[in-house]
Amino acid sequence: MSCSLYYTDWDMSEPDYLACRSTLIKIIYNELDDALGRARQITETGGVPWEIEGEDGTKLRRHEITKIMRVRSRELADRPKVY
The secondary structure of 11-72, three-state, reads CCCHHHHHHHHHHCCCEEECCHHHHHHHHHHHHHCCCEEEEEEECCCCEEEHHHHHHHHHHH
Q: What pTM, to 2 d.p., does this model score? A: 0.89
Query: Is residue 79 a part of any domain in this protein?
Result: no
Mean pLDDT of the chain: 92
Residue 80 lies in a domain: no
* 81 falls within a domain: no
Query: What gap in Å lies between CA 79 and CA 18, rounded to an integer?
Result: 27
* Residue 83, domain member (yes or no): no
28-68 residue pLDDT tens? 999 999 999 999 999 999 999 999 999 999 999 999 999 99
- Name every residue whose Cβ is closer than 8 Å to that of residue 66 and which is 6 or more positions away in sequence: 43
Structural domain containing residue 53:
3-72
Give the chain's domain count.
Answer: 1
Domain assignment of residue 78, yes or no: no
